[in-house]
Amino acid sequence: MKKTVATLLNQQVNKELYSAYLYLEFNNMLADMGLAGFAHWLRIQVMEERDHAMLFYDYLHHNNQKVELEAIEQPKTEAKTVMQILQASLEHEEFITDSIHNIYEAALKEKDYRTKGFLDWFVKEQGEEENNFHTLIDKVKILGEDTKGLYVLDRELATRVYVAPSLTIT
């Protein structure tokens, strides 16, 4: 594996861990608002991001690369409402998508087809992540100021179940 690709993969480990940390902060905020279902939904996001970090971590190790962990920055957000939290989350997912695309491009440039294959799953996953936030944003928009509707959506989100990624590291 070329150093440029290994460096980008290392950076992605830390970006994914930051994602988990950011969503944990949003989880806190939503729990403080009394929206246990929204908080639960984001808690599942925390677990997904943590596992994404570990997939990158394991891939680096499997390819005899040193993993260099960096400090995880404290999440900073100006989000105060449910809608602002969801929009900030979507923007963050778009940032992560761009980051994965950059690694993909570097892998192609370096003819690192193994890493390209590994990243294929993440490209698809990021499409799902962005779609999930778009869908939630649309639902909250539809509800507007309807607190009863928000209550029903909160209960629906509380039923989300975590499913660990099924990606084989090769």
pLDDT in tens, 39-98: 999 999 999 999 999 999 999 999 999 999 999 999 989 999 999 999 999 999 999 999
pLDDT in tens, 98-152: 999 999 999 999 999 999 999 999 999 999 999 999 999 999 999 987 889 989 9
Question: Residue 107's pLDDT is what?
Answer: 98
55 in a domain, yes or no?
A: yes
77 in a domain, yes or no?
A: yes
Question: Residue 8's pLDDT is what?
Answer: 98
Distance CA 85, CA 25 (A): 10
Q: Is the pLDDT of residue 170 over 90?
A: no
Q: Which residue range is the domain that position 43 belongs to?
A: 3-157
- Domain CATH code at residue 102: 1.20.1260.10
pLDDT in tens, 19-41: 999 999 999 999 999 999 999 99
The pair of three-digit structure tokens given for residue 124, joined into one six-digit string: 């698809």
Query: What percent of the chain is helix, strand and coil (3-state, nearest 5)?
Result: 75, 0, 25
SS (H, E, C) 96-154: HHHHHHHHHHHHHHCCCHHHHHHHHHHHHHHHHHHHHHHHHHHHHHHHCCCHHHHHHHH
* Torsion angle, alpha carbons of 29, 85, 99, 127, to 10: 120
